[in-house]
Amino acid sequence: MITSRGLIELGFTRDDFRLQDNSDGAGVFIADWNSGSPQPSVAEIEAAHTTWQTAYDAQAYARSRALEYPSIGDQLDMIYHNGDGGATFQAAIKAVKDKYPK
């Protein structure tokens, strides 16, 4: 399958191509090729997309953690105001890391 992500991973920009899907069951195709470089094959585009998808999926834990970590302000408040040497802060971070392990 041709994807813009696959083309971008191959080093092309959105100005280099225009994808189209006529909803006729044939799928997405390159409607316009504006790059001075040769148009890559479907297999090359698929391989680049798969490589990107694998790396993206491997970082799911990091994206989930980032959404649940306390804000920087809250983290600093935990360290400063609780008077426990940062134990509250460390426990809050550990809870998120335990919820979303690598």
CATH number for the domain that contains residue 12: 3.30.56.60
Predicted confidence (pLDDT) per residue in 45-87, tens digit: 999 999 999 999 999 999 999 999 999 999 999 888 988 888 9
* Tokens 């006729």 sit on residue: 24
Question: Is the Cβ–Cβ distance between 20 and 29 less than 8 Å?
Answer: yes
- ∠ CA 37-38-43, rounded to 5°: 125
Please give the Cα distance from 42 to 9 (Å, whole number): 13
In 3-state terms the chain splits into helix, strand, coil percentages (rounded to 5) of 55, 10, 35
Predicted confidence (pLDDT) per residue in 1-59, tens digit: 999 999 999 999 999 999 999 999 999 999 999 999 999 999 999 999 999 999 999 99
Q: Does residue 74 share a domain with residue 37?
A: no
Q: What is the pTM of this model?
A: 0.76
Total number of domains constituting the chain: 2
Q: Does residue 43 share a domain with residue 1?
A: yes
What is the predicted pLDDT for the residue at 7?
Answer: 98
**What residue numbers bound the domain in which 10 lies?**
1-58
Which residues on neighbouring strands pair with residue 76, listed in sequence order? none
- Of 58, 73, 90, the domain-final residue: 58
